[in-house]
Each structure stands twice: as structure tokens, then as C-alpha cells.
Amino acid sequence: MKDKLMALKAEALGQLQEVADPAALNDLRVKYLGKKGALTEILRGMGGLSAEERPIIGQVGNEVRGAIEEVITSKQEEFQRKETEERLRAEKVDVTLPGRPLTQGSVHPLSRVIQDIEDIFIGLGYRVAEGPEVETDYFNFEALNLPKNHPARDMQDSFYLTDDLLMRTQTSPVQARTMLAMKGETPVKIICPGRVFRRDDDDATHSFQFHQIEGLVIGEGIRMSDLKGTLLQFVREMFGVNTQIRLRPSFFPFTEPSAEVDVSCVKCGGSGCRVCKQTGWLEILGCGMVHPKVLEMGGYDAESCSGFAFGMGVERIAMLKYGVDDIRHFYNNDLSFLKQFARI
Amino acid sequence: MRVSTEWLSQYISLEGITAKELAERITSAGIEIDIIENRNQGVHHVVTGYVKHKEKHPDADKLNVCTVDAGQGEDLQIVCGAKNVDAGQIVPVAMVGAKLPGGLDIKKAKLRGVVSQGMICSAKELGMNDKLLPKELQEGILVLPENTEIGVPVTDVLGLNDEVLELDLTPNRSDCLSMLGTAYEVSAILGRELTLPKPEESLVEVSDSASNYISVSIAAEEQCSHYSARYITGVRIESSPLWIQNRLIAAGVRPINNIVDITNYCMLEYGQPLHAFDADRLPGGSLTVRLAREGEKMVTLDGQERNLEPHMLIIAAENGPAALAGVMGGLDSEVTDQTVNIVLESAKFDGGTVRKTSRQLGLRSEASSRFEKEVDPAAVIPALNRAAGLISEYAGGTVHEGIVQAGSAEAEKKIITLSLPKVNRILGTDLSQLEVKTLFARLHFSCGDAGEGLIEVEVPTRRGDITLDVDLLEEIARLYGYDNIPTTAIQGKTTPGTLSKPQLIRRALRRLLTHGGWQEVLGYSFIHPRQAEKFASLAGESNQVRLAMPMSEDRSVLRTSLIPQLLDIASYNTNRKQPDLALFEIGNLFHSNEEQLTIQPKEQPVLGMLLSGRRGSKQWNVQPEKADFFDLKGAVESIFQYLGIAPSTVEYKADQPADFHPGRSASVYVNLDSGQVKLGTLGQVHPQLQQEQDVEDTYVAELLLDPLYELTDSSVAYQDLPRFPGMERDLAIVVNEAVEAGELTASIREHAGDLLKKVQVFDVFTGSKLGEGKKSVAVSLTFRHQERTLTDEEVGIAVDQAVQALEQSFGAELRK
């Protein structure tokens, strides 16, 4: 019986050596080790053995089973490895083909600049105030110390709807409205972004519709030096920590003293280039100490309160920040322009 | 204002300072100067020469051979092609070695065989703005006055050694519309002494009094506070001396004749416009300043007949209007070549009156623009005397004794009390009383002490812009230097920086949409009236709001919807091969119920959306599909979900809104506390309109933001995660095609009980198997209990209830 077992082992191992695919391997496993397999067949004859022989033959039988199983397992592992290798080969991709992008739109560059500026001033404790696009003559002009027949009304030709109603020419009326709404309470710290309109023929630097951001601070002991400090902080956050400012005296009916503010050129840093026309400076905003008449019309006592205001053109800032050379791009809404801003 | 530095240096020394430096100093003190014009555009070695002879060129009809004495000892032979050249003239001669503007070098040359030792020049060749010269001098060579010295540099003769500063004056600084005003400003900036002309000292009068010949009166005191005149006889009308002409040209004023030039010269010097009448054409010699009468007419200098109105101020002679005060003189009394005797006028007319008249008649001049900004009352008489003196000197006039005047030159002394602590409190500086007084001394403002920390400042009448202490504060700040003011941080109470709820929601919408691939665009608030009729349902039954004076019909009414411009933008991009579009705009639409606008129109913030072309981008392994109604609706639903607005709050009604595809559009309604309101519309653009706009299938939506602000729920509240598994049941419901999916899901929600957590439509189809006019709607129902696992039985009961209701209400059958 032992011989039979040894012969079976030799035969099985021999056949297993030849096996080429997992199905044939399985067939051999059934043939030799299955419930009705050859090994079981032989061992069924153990009933006729003596009590001394039985354990010996049993041990031989187990050894034969173990030897065959070991080969089968190693064969199985080999087949599995091959199969995995083949699959990996088959699944190879060309990694240089383009990926599928997330769909990503973007806010309009003017919205983006407005949000950036809002965020800087929110960080400084300002509230964002808004007002109507159609204004009354009173809020657009008179409450800002521009009475009818004032020569400064020459500066801005307006779109009137009626004698008394017009498209606002500046965001400053929001100042006047906010002051009245605050009813004398201090401090007032607001910025007002919005659309404004002037009768300009459109060209590379003019648009009849554009955006402004106005700022207003009113409180006790607000100084012109605070205005300088505020603007310096703003331009450094907006254009970089090394940005310098320069204030030049100017005239606005609603501020006194008034100033135009230049920043060191965002392109060359002040050494002179085409963008700054070799001056090293770029004019970006107008500002001043709130005129006492404006404070009083807004319900504030000009002796105990003071304040500053500033205003800037959003398109101008956007053009400088992004190097845009024609204001009309902002209103043409050409996707190939807008998509350039779909990034941080 | 164009300021000649040559002229300016008559009043103040400009030694050691270049025009560029001066411009920078003036700019940093508040008057911007962007342009400095060098009057010498590159003229070298050009001298005055006397044309001794002129002969025809032997071989050229159009050329002349001139013998010219240019003060060089030897005469020069110069070939000249100008028609107007003639013997006896004094002309500019560019000698061999000379340079002319534009890089022209003069060399010895032969012209048709004749040697030419230079070139006789025209004004244009000398780089002059010849538009300011008389016609005859524009066409040929420049002929200089007979008494011009020979052999001297022409740059000296023509005043070309001059640089002109262009002052960009803000409306408040009309004091610098004069050379003297500018000199005061420069004196304050540089801290240098002023030398002022003293016309009254040098004026010679004859004792025969002017009042024997002329009289003046004012019948409109509000419009004219002071009117003065002088009587001058025996004037010779001729060209004015070159130095006056040169300065006028530098200032951009065209020389005419000595009388006109002198009045203009004095206007530029003092800022006080003057007018000369031909005295012999003013019958009776009496002038009255009065308002025009209804129906009165006059012919102005330009030959136009003007219909006068009662608000217009005129100077009337006995035979009617002789001048429109401050605007333009009358043709009848104009100074001509024949004029011998003149009446010279200097007055202060009310600015508003002059402005109204000049605007209405479209007549704006150097004079009117100065009157409009209010002239200095203290300059009326000095300017008159100055002009009389110059006329006596350069036009041979005899000035008769005395000034004939009405009204008064007296202006109230303007004294402002300034508090030094306030100065420092507002500016953030630490200036002493002495420093402040020194600054005012530079401005020629006199100061006095008025108690502790108070300074009394007398403001000269020429500075009409200064009326309050803060105006003085600005004078201090700009002379002290804005650069010298410190940089500080705001003291006192701090405030939280915030955005309002609407502002936060608009930002949230921008964030959600851009991250979903949508592109923000910006339209104009103005559109064409035809566009304003489209998609205007959110503006209600309103009237179009029209601009009084639009720049074009395309931009003439306020927009009533964002969609028309979104469509324009879609066309624009589609035409540029960018047809795959997902656009949105956040902006206002305008409406008013008033026929005649009296109050501001209502401005409503809205979100406009447009979808066209394919969704997603073209890919090597994915075929992008065309976007459809449900892409747009999905975006709208995502907005509601993002803003925390429950689906049960929203209702879509296929009510065929105007301008949309009737079968692929809906109005959206939401339930507010105050009841259901229309939130907006969405759907495909009507195919007809698509064709007109030249776009493919395009889907648009417009939603009012105010109701969204109200409904937005930003409170996130955690809910227990489900601890027990849910059960799903799928139903395929066959109904008539007209039945809406929304009706079926609403019915299921109503009848399947509380265990039902979710209903989702996952397939819709029609086909012959189902029968004519039928469709199958497949829905997936999810049931769950928070506390326990559900049994098949209880779910079965819930489904049965739902199915029964569907059968009863819609005649539905279940497809097995």
C-alpha cells in the first residue's frame, strides 16, 4: 500500500510539473485530492490493515497529500502572479494624455477687485454700504457741497432722467445717505462700492459706466495723518508691502483739505517705466478731510467730529493690478478675457 | 491756463530753477502741471535779415533770388520760393549751419544752378503754432515788423526762449487764471519776493475829463456790482509790439490788433476781462448795464443775430444793446481799422448770469470763463488803468482824466479766525503759531493774534475760494507739505468689519456658481428700448425709464431684465467660436409705475443666468453633451439647496412666460411669510428669438434676490446619523403623458406616510409598448425609521397606500 501511495505521489507530482493553466491544475487537484480522488481511493483500503500498520500508512498518506498540496498551492500562486502581471500590462494608460478638469468659472475681474478691497477694509473694521444707482440731485450733488451752479459740476457731465433724478456720477452719495441713517452716531466706518455713470465717449481709458469704491470715516479726533496711515496700509495690502504713497493737494467740493494719491508704480516700483510714464508714480485715488458743510448736512457737528473720505476707480485699480490696457475689455465680456481670471 | 515762464519772471525771480523743477514744485503744492512746452522747438542760428533785392530766378518761375543783409558784414544770396517775399522786408534767415525743428540742417546749396547761402523761414518752419498767426503769415514766410533789429537771433525777437507751463486748474483755483495770480502762488511756493506792476503810477492823463464824453449806470445791481470805463481818443489801430504778440501766442491767444491785444494782455495779466467799444458808434456816450428786454435782439461780433432773454445781462447804449455783458461785444460798436476813439470797459459781472447766457448761446470765451468763476473785484480798476497805459504807449491814445464808474469796487474784508489746536487736531501735526503765520506771510495773507491759540487771517479778495477755516487749513497743509504730515493709525473705539446678509449671500452665489463652472459677466444698466420689452416679467406692469439725453438709442433706457444683455454676450462669444457658455450676472433691474418719473425707480437686485452649447469641455475620451433645460434647473435647485431653502418652499409652474419656449419654461414661485411670490423665470429662449440673436439652443433664468435673502437659512444644525438601515422600493408608474412628474412625487410624499424619507425620479420613457399617449415614470422610494429596523410588511403597506393614491388620482398603473 505504501508503494501504491509513493507511486501515486510520483505520478501526481509528475503531472503537476506539466500543468499549464489554472483549470488543468484544478482538474488534477480533484483527480488526486478530491472526495472521489485517487488518494482517497487508496486510503479507503486502510480498513484492511493491521493496527500496527494503520498509523504508519496513515502518516505516509498525509505526507503524500501534503507534498501534492504544496505543489498545487505553489502552482496556484504562480498562476495568480502571472494573471496579475498580465492584467497590469493590459491596464496601462498613456499618462501624458490630458486629464479631465474640474469645471471652474470665475468671478468678473471687477467683482474680484471689489471683493479684495472690501476684504482689506473689513479687516480694518469697515462695513460695506450700498446705495441706489439712480440718485436724486440732492444726494448726488447738493449734500456733497455741490450746490446748483457750482463750477465743479462742470467736471462731471451726468445722465439725467428728470431735472431732479440722475444716474449717480459717483458713489459719494452713499456717504451722505449713511450719515443720515446713522443719525449722528460715531464712529462711522464704511466703504461703498458701486456702479457710476458719466457722459464719456468710450475709449481705451473711458467708459460711460464704471465702478467706484468710496470710503468714509467719521469720529472724534479723526486726523489727516490717520487718512495717510489708512491709505498706506490699504495700498500695501493691495499692491505689496513695499508700496509707497504720495499725496498731492487737489480739490473736491466735499473735502477740505483734499488730495490726490499716487502709489509707487506697481510695474517698476518707482524707477520709471512705460506704465508710469517714467514718473515712478501712478494716480489711484482722491481723498480728503470731510468738508464741514457735508458733515453738517449729514447731521454731524463739524466742531466735535471730523472725518476723512476717499474714492477710487475700480477699473483703474484692476487695469493697474492686472496690466489690462483697455477698459472696454471689462464690458465686452469676451470669455477669452474673463477666463484669464479663473485662478488665484 | 498757459503760463509763460518768460512773462512770469517779470513778477518773480525764477533764477536757479528750471521749468521742470518749477512745475514739480507747483504740482506738489496743488496745481497739476503735466505739460511743459518749450517754445523753441529746435531753432539754432536763425537771425533776422533785411531783404535788399529780389530778382526772379533765371531758370525757375516760382523761385526768387534774394540779397539779404543778415548783419554778417557780407550780404547773403538766398533762393526763396515763398510768394510773399519782397524787398524791404525783415525776415527770419536760417544761415548755413542753422538747425530747424524736425532736425533740418541748413547747408550751402545750389537751387537750379544758383547758390543759396541759407533759407528764409516761415512761422511753421520755426516750429511755431501758426494757427495763432494771421492768415497772411500762415501761408508764406514770416515777415517781421519794420523796426526789428537786423542780425539778432530770431528766438529773441519771437520770444522763443521761453517755456510754457500748462496749469491744469481745479475749479476752485480761478485765481490762477491770471499771470499775477500765478505769480502769487509761485511766490508762496518758492518763498520769493513779488514785483507787481503799478499801472496807476505811470499812467498819463489829459485834463479833459472822460465824464465830459461818457457816462455809465447800472440798472441791474445784482448782476453787476461794479462797472468802470475810461475814454481814450486818437488811437492808431495797428499791430501790437512783438513782445505783446509773443506773450499772447505763448498764452495761446491769437494777436489781432493793438487794442484787442492789449485788452487780452491785461485779461491774462490780471484775470480781469476788458472790452473796448468804438466810442463814435455809441450815440450819446451813455452806457447802461441792464437786463435784456423781452424780444430784444442784437448782432454779436461774430455776425450772428441773437434773440435776447430777460435773464441776460447787456450793456446798452442809447440805441439799444451794445454788448452781451461778459460774453461778447456787439458788431455795431466793434473796434475796427477806422476806430479813433474808444471806451474801455472793466467790470464785475455776476458769474452765474454770465454762465447761463454763455451756455445758452453756446458762446464760451476766455472772458466768459473768467467771469463765470467770479473775477477779483480788486482787479477791476488796476486792469483798466494798465490797459489804458498800454494803449497810450502802443496805440498813441490820449487817456482822458478820470474813471467813469457805477457801483463799487469795495469788497468786504474777509477775516477768518483760525484755531491753532484745531489745525493740529485735524491735520495730525504739531505746528507752532509762528510756523503757521510764516506760511500765511508767504501767501501774502495778513495775520493778527486773536487770543490764546487763535489767529485772525485776512484773506485777499483774489482768493474767492477761501471762506472757511478749513480752507485756510488746506493752505497750511499744502504749503507745509502733505509729505510732512505724519502717518498714524485711527485712535478710539474699534468697530467690527462686516458684510450684510445680502452681501454675504451674493458672495455665496458667486462662489457656488463659479465653482460649478459658471462665469460671471457684467452688463450695462442701460439697454435699447426694444430689449427692455423682452423678459421683463419681473419688472411687472412698469413703464420704461428713459434717460433724458442718452448717448445712443442702444443705451437709452434702464434695464428691466438682465437676460437681453446675457443674450448679447452669448452672441458675441458664439461669433468668436466660444459657443459653450454658462454665464451669470448679479445686478439691478429698474422699474417704475409712474408715467412721468418723479421719484427714484425701484431697483431690484437679480441673478441672471444663461446656458448654451455643450456642458463640460471637449475631451479626448468623452463626448460632451448639449446642455438642456435640466442643467439650468439643476443649477437653480442647487442654489436653493446651498441657501438652505427647502424644496417644499419652491413651486415650478409651466405657465408659459413670455419670450420663452412655451414647452420648455417655467415660472418659479416661493412661499414667504407674506404669501407666495414669483421669484423668477427659467427655460429655453423662444426659438424665434434664438434665431434673431444667432445663438444655438440657449437656456436662461432670472431670479429676484430679495426673496432669496429672506428665505436663506444659514443655520447649520447637526442631525443624528441613521443608525438603522433604510429600505428602498422602486416603482415604475405608467400614466398619461400630460401628468407631471412633480404631481406624482407630491402625491407619493403625501400618501406614503412618515417613514418615507426620499423620493427620486430615476427614469422617464415613452414607447409603443406602453400604448399611445402613455409614459413610464420610475421612482425610487427610501424608507427609514430612526429607532429600529423596518419590516417588509410595514414598508409594503406604505407603498400600497401610495400606489392606491396614484391609481385613484392619475389612473396610474404599475409596470411589473
pLDDT for B136: 67
Q: What pLDDT is attached to residue B538?
A: 87
Rounded Cα distance, B437 and A202, in Å: 48
A206 touches chain B (CB under 8 A): no
Q: Given pLDDT bands bounded at 50, 70 and 90, which one contains residue B617?
A: low
For residue A339, the chain B residues in CB contact (below 8 A) are 519
- Cell numbers at A270, concatenated: 518707482
In a domain, B74, yes or no: yes
Q: Cα–Cα distance between B25 and B185 in angstroms, integer?
A: 11
The CA-CA-CA angle for residues B492, B498, B502, to 5°, reads 150
- For the domain A109-340, what is the CATH superfamily, name and number? Bira Bifunctional Protein; Domain 2 (3.30.930.10)
Which of A161, A220, A229 lies closest to B492 in CB terms? A220
B301-322: average pLDDT:
93
Q: Report the DSSP beta bridge partners of residue B728.
A: B782
Half-sphere exposure of B232 toward its Cβ, with a 13 Å CA cutoff? 33
* Structural domain includes residue B705: yes
Cα–Cα nearest to A145, from B641, B746, B467: B467
Name the domain boundary from B384, B407, B430. B407
Give the pLDDT of residue B11.
96
Q: Is B234 left (phi over 0), alpha (psi -120 to 50) or beta?
A: left
Number of domain units in chain B: 6
* pLDDT of amino acid A40: 84
3-class SS of residue B420: helix
* pLDDT greater than 80 at residue A156: no
User: Does B594 lie in the same domain as B738?
Assistant: no
Per CB-CB distance under 8 Å, the chain B contacts of A199 are: 551
Residue B389 has pLDDT above 90, yes or no: yes
Which residues between 130 and 189 in chain A have a beta carbon less than 8 angstroms from any beta carbon of chain B? 130, 132-136, 149-152, 154-155, 159-162, 164-165, 167, 186-187, 189
Residues B367-386, mean pLDDT to the nearest whole number: 94
Residue B504, pLDDT > 70, answer yes
Residue B97 lies in a domain: yes
Chain A residues touching residue B352 (CB < 8 angstroms)? 149
In three-state form (DSSP H/G/I as H, E/B as E, the rest C), the secondary structure along B163-229 is: EEEEEECCCCCHHHCCHHHHHHHHHHHHCCCCCCCCHHHHCCEEEEEHHHCCEEEECCCCCEEEEEE
In this structure, the number of other CB atoms found within 10 A of the CB of residue B572 comes to 14
Q: How far is CA B429 from CA A226, B421, B426, B488, B522, in A?
A: 11, 10, 8, 11, 44
What ipTM was predicted for this assembly? 0.87
Are B520 and A338 within 8 A, CB to CB?
Answer: yes
Q: DSSP string covering B278-290, please?
A: EGGGSGGGEEEEE
Residue B471 annotated as binding?
yes
B639 pLDDT tier (thresholds 50, 70, 90): very high
pLDDT at residue A342 in the model: 87
Domain with B263 in it: 199-407
* Residues paired with A211 in a beta bridge: A195
Query: What percentage of chain B carries pLDDT values higher than 90?
Result: 75
Q: Do B470 and A292 touch (CB under 8 A)?
A: yes
B720 in any annotated domain: no
pLDDT of B390: 96
What distance in Å separates the CA atoms of residue B559 and residue B556, rounded to the nearest whole number?
9
A206 falls in which pLDDT band (50, 70, 90)?
very high
- Asked whether residue A331 carries a pLDDT value surpassing 90, the answer given is yes
| B474 marked as binding residue | yes
Q: Would an 8 Å CB–CB cutoff place A258 in contact with chain B? A: yes
Q: Which residue of A has its CA nearest to B501?
A: A128
Calculate the average pLDDT of chain B.
92
Q: Which CATH number covers residue B692?
A: 3.30.930.10
Is there a contact between B588 and A250 if contact means CB atoms under 8 Å apart? Answer: no
How would DSSP label each residue in B19-39?
HHHHHHHHHHTT-EEEEEEES
The pLDDT, as a whole number, for residue B241 is: 92
Q: In angstroms, how far apart are the furthest CA atoms of chain A?
A: 134
Give residue A151's pLDDT.
61
Q: How far apart (Å, rounded) are the C-alpha atoms in residues B260 and B336? A: 10
Q: Assess whether B148 and B167 both reside in one domain.
A: no
User: Cα separation of A64 and A1, whole Å?
Assistant: 12
User: Are B452 and B541 in the same domain?
Assistant: no
User: How many Å lie between the alpha carbon of A83 and the closest alpha carbon of chain B?
Assistant: 28
Asked whether residue A152 carries a pLDDT value surpassing 70, the answer given is no
Q: Are residues B235 and B277 in the same domain?
A: yes
Q: Which of A103, A128, A257 sits opposite B474 (nearest CB)?
A: A257
Inter-chain CB proximity A161 and B546 less than 8 Å: yes
Question: Do A258 and B499 count as a contact with CB atoms less than 8 A apart?
Answer: no
CATH at residue B334: 3.50.40.10
The residue among B277, B293, B274, B295 whose CA lies nearest residue B285 is B277
CATH code: domain of residue B151: 2.40.50.140
| Residue type for position A193 | P
Closest CA in chain A for residue B500: A128
- HSE value, Cβ hemisphere, 13 Å, CA-based, for A136: 9
Torsion sign over Cα A321, A327, A330, A333: negative
Percent of chain B whose pLDDT exceeds 70: 99
Calpha distance A288→B648 (Å, rounded): 53
Q: How confident is the model at residue A154 (pLDDT cuts 50, 70, 90)?
A: low
From the list B548, B541, B546, B572, the residue with the least C-alpha distance to B559 is B546
Please list every residue in chain A whose beta carbon sits closer than 8 Å to the beta carbon of residue B575: none
pLDDT band at A21 (very low <50, low <70, confident <90, very high): confident
Catalogue the long-range contacts made by A76-81 (C-beta closer than 8 Å, 24 or more residues apart): A76/A22, A76/A25, A79/A21, A79/A22, A79/A25
- Going from the C-alpha of A14 to that of each of A5, A8, A304, B585, the distances in angstroms are 14, 10, 110, 80
Task: Please choose, from the candidates B266, B222, B226, the residue with its C-alpha nearest in 3D space to the C-alpha of residue B247.
Answer: B266
Q: What is the pLDDT of residues B223-268, one digit of tens each?
A: 999 999 999 999 999 989 999 999 999 999 999 999 999 999 999 9
pLDDT band at B31 (very low <50, low <70, confident <90, very high): very high
Going through B705-802 in order, the beta strands assigned E by DSSP cover 727-736, 756-765, 774-783
Residues B272 and B141 in one domain: no
SS3 sequence of chain A: CHHHHHHHHHHHHHHHHHCCCHHHHHHHHHHHHCCCCHHHHHHHHHHHCCCCHHHHHHHHHHHHHHHHHHHHHHHHHHHHHHHHHHHHHHCCCCCCCCCCCCCCCCCCHHHHHHHHHHHHHHHCCCEECCCCCEEEHHHHCHHHCCCCCCHHHHHCCCCECCCCEEECCCCCHHHHHHHHHHCCCCCEEEEEEEEEECCCCCCCCCCCEEEEEEEEEEECCCCHHHHHHHHHHHHHHHHCCCCCEEEEEEEECCEEEEEEEEEECCCCCCCCCCCCCCCCEEEEEEEEEECHHHHHHCCCCCCCCEEEEEEEEHHHHHHHHHCCCCCCHHHHCCHHHHHHHCCC
| Residue B716 lies inside a defined structural domain of this protein | no
Per-residue pLDDT reduced to its tens digit, B82-134: 888 888 899 999 998 899 998 888 888 888 888 888 899 988 889 888 788 87
Q: Count of H helices and E strands in chain B?
A: 21, 40
Chain B: closest CA distance from residue A305 (Å): 10
**Chain mean pLDDT for chain A:** 91
Please confirm whether the linkage preceding B310 is cis (ω < 30° from 0): no
Q: Which amino acid is at B756?
A: L
Mutate to test the interface with A, among B168, B359, B482, B610 (most CBs of A within 10 A): B482
- Kindly state whether residues B183 and B223 are assigned to the same domain: no
For B343-359, what is each residue's pLDDT tens digit?
Answer: 999 999 999 999 999 98
Contact flag A159-B549 (C-beta cutoff 8 Å): yes
A114: closest chain B residue by CA = B507
Q: What is the pLDDT of residues B455-502, one digit of tens each?
A: 999 999 999 999 999 999 999 999 999 999 999 999 988 889 999 999
pLDDT (tens digit per residue) in A159-199: 999 989 999 999 999 999 999 999 999 999 999 999 999 98
Average pLDDT over residues B799-806: 93
Three-state DSSP at B623 gives coil
Residues from chain A that touch B473, judged by Cβ atoms under 8 A, are: 256-257, 289
pLDDT of residue B388: 96
Q: Which three cell numbers stand for residue A174?
A: 452713499
Minimum Cα–Cα distance from B172: chain A residue: A251
Residue B503 to residue A103, Cβ atoms within 8 A: no
Torsion, CA B154, CA B157, CA B160, CA B166, rounded to 10: -160
Strands A245-252 and B660-672: unpaired
Residue A60 has pLDDT above 90, yes or no: no
Average pLDDT rounded to a whole number, residues B614-622:
74
Any CB–CB contact under 8 A between A289 and chain B?
Answer: yes
pLDDT band, very low/low/confident/very high, at B767 (cuts 50, 70, 90)? confident
Contacts of B500 in chain A (CB under 8 A): 127-128
CB nearest to A159's CB, from B482, B510, B547: B547
Query: Is A254:A143 a contact under the CB 8 Å cutoff?
Result: no
* Residues B121 and B64 grouped into a single domain: yes
Specify the pairing of strand B205-209 against strand B398-401. Answer: parallel
Give pLDDT, residue B83: 84
For residue B92, the model assigns a pLDDT of: 93
Q: Are residues B331 and B385 in the same domain?
A: yes
Between the CA of residue A168 and those of A61, A141, A161, B204, what are the distances in Å? 103, 9, 11, 57
Q: What are the residue boundaries of the structural domains of chain A, listed by start?
A: 1-91, 109-340
Q: What pLDDT shows up at residue B2? A: 95
CA–CA separation, A144 and A153 (whole Å): 11
DSSP state of B625: P
CB atoms within 10 A of CB B123: 22
Are residues B506 and A128 in contact, defined by beta-carbon separation less than 8 angstroms?
Answer: no
- Judged by CB atoms closer than 8 Å, whether chains meet at B514 and A104 is answered as yes
Cα B156 from Cα B47, distance rounded (Å)? 9
Do A105 and B518 lie within an 8 Å CB cutoff? yes
- B525 CB neighbours in chain A (<8 A) are 133, 167, 195, 197, 209
Buried b / exposed e along B426-447 (16+ C-beta atoms within 10 A): bbbbebeeeebbebbebbebeb
Position B185 confidence tier, pLDDT thresholds 50, 70, 90: very high
Q: What is the CA radius of gyration of chain A?
A: 43
Domain edge (last residue) among B385, B407, B429: B407
Q: Are residues B173 and B320 in the same domain?
A: no
Pairwise CA distance, residues B416 & B445, whole Å: 11
Cβ contact, residue pair B352, A248, below 8 Å: no
In a domain, B490, yes or no: no
DSSP, collapsed to helix, strand or coil, labels residue B589 as: strand
What whole-number distance in Å separates Cα of residue B761 and Cα of residue B246? Answer: 89
Shortest Cα–Cα distance, B52 to chain A (Å): 50
Residues B460 and B521 in one domain: no
Residue B684 lies in a domain: yes
8 A C-beta contact, residue A220 and residue B426: no
Distance from CA of A10 to the nearest CA of B (A): 55
Residue-wise pLDDT tens digits, A43-52: 888 878 888 8
User: Which pLDDT value is given to residue B592?
Assistant: 92
B495 part of a folded domain: no
- Check CB contact under 8 Å for B497 and A121: yes
pLDDT on residue B540: 80
Residues B631, B584 within the same domain: yes
Cβ contact B232:B391 at 8 Å = yes
What is the least distance, in Å, from the CA of A35 to any CA of chain B?
42
Cβ distance B171 to A289 less than 8 Å, yes or no, reads no
pTM beyond 0.90: no
**Distance spanning both ends of chain A, measured CA to CA:** 83
How close, in Å, is residue B476 to chain A by CA atoms? 9
Q: Which residue of B has its CA nearest to A339?
A: B519
